[in-house]
Structure 1
Amino acid sequence: MRLLRSSAVVGVFTLMSRLLGFVREILLAAAIGAGPIADAFFTAFQFPNLFRRVFAEGAFNSAFVPLYAGRMEAEGETEAQRFARDVVSVLATFMLVFVVAAQIAMPWLMYALGPGFVGDPGLFELAILLTQVTMPYLLMMSVSAMLSGILNSHDRFAAAAAAPVLLNVILIGILFFGEAPPETLVLWLSIGITVSGVVQTLWLWLACRRIGIRLGFRIPRLTPGVRRLIVLGVPGAIAAGVTQINIVVTGSIATLQEGARSWLYYADRLYQLPLGVIGIAMGVALLPALSKRLRAGDDTGASDAMNRALEISMGLTLPSAVALAVIPHFIITALYQRGAFTALDAEMASAALVAFAIGLPAFVLIKVLSPGFFARQDTSTPMKFATIGVVVNIALGLGLFFSPVGFVGLAIATATAGWINAGLLGVVLHRRGLLEFDARLKSKLVRIGLATAIMGAAVAAMGTQRALLTGWTGGSTLLALIAVVAIGGVIYAALALATGAVRMGELRKALKRG
Structure 2
Amino acid sequence: MAKSKLFRSTMVVSSMTMLSRVLGLVRDMVLMSVFGAGGLMDAFLVAFKIPNFLRRLFAEGAFSQAFVPVLSEYKERFTLQEVQILISRTSGALLMILSLLTVVVILAAPWVITLFAPGFADSPDKFATASELLRLTFPYLLFISMTAFAGSILQSYGRFAAPAFAPVLLNLCMISGALIFAPMFSKPIMALGYSVAIAGLLQFMIQLPQLWQQKLLVAPKVNFQHEGVRRILKLMLPAIFGVSVTQINLLLNTVFASLMMGGSVSWLYAAERLSELPLGLIGVAIGTVILPSLSASEAKKDDVTFRKTLDWASRLIILIGIPAAAALFVLSDVLMQSLFMRGEFVLRDAQMSGLALRSMSGGILGFMLIKIFAPAFFARQDTKTPVKIGVVAVIANMVFSVIFIGVFYFFKLPLHGGLALATTGASFVNAGLLYYFLHKRDLFRFGPHWKKLFAQFGFSCAVMVAALYAMLPYFPTHSAQWQRIGALLIISAIGAAVYGVVLLATGFRPRQLKHG
TM-score, L = length of structure 1: 0.95
The answer to whether 1:89 aligns with 2:92 is yes
Q: In 2, are the aligned partners of 1:166 and 1:199 still within 8 Å (CA)?
A: yes
The answer to whether 1:252 aligns with 2:255 is yes
The percentage of aligned residue pairs carrying the same residue is: 36
Q: Residue 401 of structure 2 aligns to which amino acid in structure 1?
A: G
Q: In 2, are the aligned partners of 1:328 and 1:350 still within 8 Å (CA)?
A: yes
Render the CA deviation track for 1:230-287: whole Å, top value 9, x for unaligned.
1101222222211111111101110112110000000110000101111111111111
Q: 2:343, 2:48 → 1: CA distance?
A: 22
1:137 corresponds in structure 2 to 140
Q: 2:72, 2:396 → 1: CA distance?
A: 35
1:390 corresponds in structure 2 to 394
Which range moved further: 292-301 or 436-445?
Answer: 436-445
2:475 corresponds in structure 1 to 466
1:84–1:442: structure 2 CA closer, same or farther, 3 Å change rule?
farther
Displacement after TM superposition at 1:300 (Å): 1.3
2:498 corresponds in structure 1 to 491
Q: Residue 451 of structure 2 aligns to which amino acid in structure 1?
A: K
Render the CA deviation track for 1:55-85: whole Å, top value 9, x for unaligned.
1111233110010010011012221121011
1:192–1:375: structure 2 CA closer, same or farther, 3 Å change rule?
same
1:369 pairs, out of 350, 367, 373, with 373
Q: 2:399, 2:124 → 1: CA distance?
A: 29
Displacement after TM superposition at 1:319 (Å): 0.9
Q: Residue 195 of structure 2 aligns to which amino acid in structure 1?
A: G
The answer to whether 1:309 aligns with 2:316 is no
Q: In 2, are the aligned partners of 1:236 and 1:382 still within 8 Å (CA)?
A: yes
Q: In 2, are the aligned partners of 1:56 and 1:237 still within 8 Å (CA)?
A: no
1:315–1:232: structure 2 CA closer, same or farther, 3 Å change rule?
same
1:482 corresponds in structure 2 to 489
2:427 pairs, out of 403, 418, 429, with 418
1:241–1:316: structure 2 CA closer, same or farther, 3 Å change rule?
same
The answer to whether 1:355 aligns with 2:364 is no
Displacement after TM superposition at 1:386 (Å): 1.2
Displacement after TM superposition at 1:356 (Å): 0.9
1:49 corresponds in structure 2 to 52
Q: 2:307, 2:145 → 1: CA distance?
A: 31
After superposition, residues 170-249 of structure 1 pair within 5 angstroms as 170-178=173-181, 180=183, 184-249=187-252
Q: In 1, are the aligned partners of 2:338 and 2:481 still within 8 Å (CA)?
A: no
Q: 1:245, 1:169 → 2: CA distance?
A: 27
After superposition, residues 271-282 of structure 1 pair within 5 angstroms as 271-282=275-286
1:427 corresponds in structure 2 to 436
Q: 2:89, 2:22 → 1: CA distance?
A: 36
CA-atom RMSD, angstroms?
1.9
1:408 corresponds in structure 2 to 417
Q: In 1, are the aligned partners of 2:182 and 2:190 still within 8 Å (CA)?
A: no
2:266 corresponds in structure 1 to 262
Displacement after TM superposition at 1:498 (Å): 2.4
2:126 corresponds in structure 1 to 123
Render the CA deviation track for 1:434-476: whole Å, top value 9, x for unaligned.
1122333332222111111111111121112213x988x9971
Q: 1:119, 1:219 → 2: CA distance?
A: 44
Q: 1:410, 1:354 → 2: CA distance?
A: 12
The answer to whether 1:440 aligns with 2:446 is no
2:107 corresponds in structure 1 to 104
Q: 2:138, 2:37 → 1: CA distance?
A: 23
Q: 2:132, 2:438 → 1: CA distance?
A: 44
Q: 2:403, 2:457 → 1: CA distance?
A: 35
Q: Residue 79 of structure 2 aligns to which amino acid in structure 1?
A: G
1:504 corresponds in structure 2 to 510
5+ residue gaps, structure 1, are none
Displacement after TM superposition at 1:10 (Å): 1.0
Q: In 2, are the aligned partners of 1:148 and 1:160 still within 8 Å (CA)?
A: yes
The runs of 4+ residues in structure 1 deviating greater than 4 Å are: none
The answer to whether 1:167 aligns with 2:177 is no
Render the CA deviation track for 1:357-398: whole Å, top value 9, x for unaligned.
011100001111111111110011111111221122223324
Q: 2:61, 2:75 → 1: CA distance?
A: 21
1:183–1:458: structure 2 CA closer, same or farther, 3 Å change rule?
farther
1:456 corresponds in structure 2 to 465
Render the CA deviation track for 1:83-134: whole Å, top value 9, x for unaligned.
0110000001100001111111221121121111101111111011111110
Q: 2:483, 2:344 → 1: CA distance?
A: 18
Q: 2:489, 2:34 → 1: CA distance?
A: 23
Render the CA deviation track for 1:161-208: whole Å, top value 9, x for unaligned.
111111111111222323529972321111100100000111122221
Q: 2:450, 2:63 → 1: CA distance?
A: 29
Q: 2:47, 2:225 → 1: CA distance?
A: 32
Q: In 1, are the aligned partners of 2:294 and 2:306 still within 8 Å (CA)?
A: yes
Q: 1:76, 1:351 → 2: CA distance?
A: 55
Q: In 2, are the aligned partners of 1:328 and 1:354 still within 8 Å (CA)?
A: yes
Q: Residue 134 of structure 2 aligns to which amino acid in structure 1?
A: T
Displacement after TM superposition at 1:215 (Å): 1.6
Displacement after TM superposition at 1:35 (Å): 1.5
Q: 1:474, 1:124 → 2: CA distance?
A: 33
Q: In 2, are the aligned partners of 1:308 and 1:441 still within 8 Å (CA)?
A: no
Q: Residue 464 of structure 2 aligns to which amino acid in structure 1?
A: M
Q: In 1, are the aligned partners of 2:185 and 2:191 still within 8 Å (CA)?
A: no
1:506–1:420: structure 2 CA closer, same or farther, 3 Å change rule?
closer
Matched residue SS, 1:219: coil
Matched residue SS, 1:185: coil
Matched residue SS, 2:189: helix
Q: In 2, are the aligned partners of 1:61 and 1:284 still within 8 Å (CA)?
A: no
Q: In 1, are the aligned partners of 2:59 and 2:148 still within 8 Å (CA)?
A: yes
1:321 corresponds in structure 2 to 325
Q: In 2, are the aligned partners of 1:57 and 1:237 still within 8 Å (CA)?
A: no
Q: 1:95, 1:500 → 2: CA distance?
A: 52
Q: Residue 435 of structure 1 aligns to which amino acid in structure 2?
A: F
1:300 pairs, out of 297, 304, 308, with 304
Render the CA deviation track for 1:341-367: whole Å, top value 9, x for unaligned.
011111110100011101110000111
